[in-house]
Amino acid sequence: MKHATRSFVLVMAFATIALTVSLVFRSAPALADWSDWDYSAQLDVRNNATALLPSGYTVSFVLDTQSLVSLGQMQANCADLRVTHNDGGTESELDRLVEGCNTSATTVTFRTQAEVGIGSTDTDYRLYYSNPAAANPPQNPSNVYAFYDDFQDGDAAGWNGADGTWSVVNDGGNYIYRYTTGGANWAISYVALPSLSNLDYVAKIRATSGTNFTRWIGLAFRIQNQTNFLTFYQSRDVNQFKFARVVNDVHTVVLSPAYTMGADTWYRLRLQAIGNQVRARIWQDGTTEPTAWNIQTTDTTFQSSTNIGVTLYQHTTAADWDDVQVRMLVDAEPTITLHWGTAPWWDNGWGYRSRLTVAKSSATETLPVS
């Protein structure tokens, strides 16, 4: 989709300040497709990292949709909340995920479409809202995260299971990934994710009760192969959350703070790895994610290895995983800034748009607001 906008720039001359106004020819054909949306806002993506922010990076921002809904400017289910990207010639609608719609802290997540240089800002994204007839927004998580699997397709395509039986099962209408029987040592199932050693990885885990209850269950990352990887896992036999290196199927526990995980209850585990920094936290599903990390340390083992997985140890009964999501991670997360506008005033009489850039050439004077 394509889109045209117009901007007025009022340049006021000041005797002590020299201004430069440049016209950047990044024209795009006018777009009538968004004329049914009453409001829009520019979304800026700023790279705060010490390296190039790659295309395909998952970003989020928080929006007060409750106020917009109460003003009649947004549907109560946020179906009219849309995100687009303009590549300089074509404006394309992006898949976006909305969490906590009609609240004061709605999280909107999408994936970037272009690289952003160090210290630079990409201003080519836009938020649209206020269309009572809008329906079926694009919201495929696989187009938002670097990897996503909720197993609702009923298969485990892409997963490589080892030491035991791994399968997707119907759990009361919800499909999940389950391990059953076998494997006297570490059992693991993993997904190949090339070039993703620095990552943010979240998944749900559930231990079983009974005589042969789930003792150890967790997530694996920086996987070389099925016997060499890093893992954060819950050790239910001693009520500890652990970080361990698994080398040639022999594990070395690095840290093991106290934590109690109930059986037959879903928990969420988030781990992050960036360079030699690794950290993780665990919490019961349905409760607020804590801000503190249960474990935070440094480790250079398998630092250049990629791939993610699920794992457990010395297990003869069932254990479950669900809602696996992975995204790239940089050393300083990008900042998303919204520049609010008013109702679009353009019509098809304007065929193109061009950006005006105002640059202050004085090194000693401050440019006033007006």
Domain boundaries along the sequence of the chain: 1-25+351-370, 36-144, 148-328
Which own/partner pairs from 129-132 qualify as long-range (CB within 8 Å, at least 24 positions apart)?
129/37, 129/38, 129/39, 129/40, 129/68, 129/73, 129/74, 129/80, 129/81, 129/82, 130/37, 130/38, 130/39, 130/68, 130/73, 130/74, 130/80, 131/36, 131/37, 131/38, 131/75, 131/80, 132/75, 132/80
Residue 112 pLDDT: 97
Asked if pLDDT for residue 364 goes beyond 90, the answer is no
- pLDDT score of 346 more than 90: no
Phi, psi of 33, rounded to the nearest 5 degrees: -65, -30
Look at residue 197 and give its three-state secondary structure: coil
Rounded mean pLDDT of 212-216? 84
* Lowest mean pLDDT across 22-36, 78-92, 245-259, 329-343: 22-36
* Pair type for strands 335-340 and 199-207: unpaired
Reference 101, options 109, 112, 93; nearest CA is 109
Question: What is the band of 199 on the pLDDT scale with cuts at 50, 70, 90?
Answer: very high
Pairing of strands 39-46, 335-340: antiparallel
Which pLDDT does position 363 carry in this prediction? 67
Q: Which of 304, 171, 297, 157 has the alpha carbon at shortest distance from 228?
A: 304
What would the mean pLDDT of 77-89 be, rounded to a whole number?
94
Q: What does the pLDDT read at residue 156?
A: 95
Q: Is 231 helix (H, G, I), strand (E, B) or coil?
A: strand
Domain 36-144: CATH architecture, name and number where available: Sandwich (2.60)
Q: Are 284 and 277 in contact (CB under 8 A)?
A: no
User: Can you give the pLDDT at residue 185?
Assistant: 80
Per-residue pLDDT tens digits for 46-58:
999 999 999 999 9
Tell me the C-alpha distance between 271 and 282, whole Å: 9
Q: What integer is the mean pLDDT of 276-297? A: 97
User: Is the pLDDT score of 325 beyond 60?
Assistant: yes
Give, as one character, the DSSP assignment of residue 70.
H
Categorize the per-residue pLDDT at 25 as very low, low, confident or very high, splitting at 50, 70 and 90. very low
Question: 36-144 and 148-328 share one CATH topology?
Answer: no
Q: Identify any residues that bridge with 177 across adjacent strands, giving them in sequence order.
A: 168, 321
Measured distance CA(300)–CA(298) in Å, rounded: 7
Its pTM stands at: 0.81
CATH no., domain 148-328 = 2.60.120.560
Smallest CA-to-CA distance from 239 within 219, 256, 221 is with: 256
Strand, helix or coil for residue 142:
helix
Q: Looking at residue 32, what is its pLDDT? A: 41
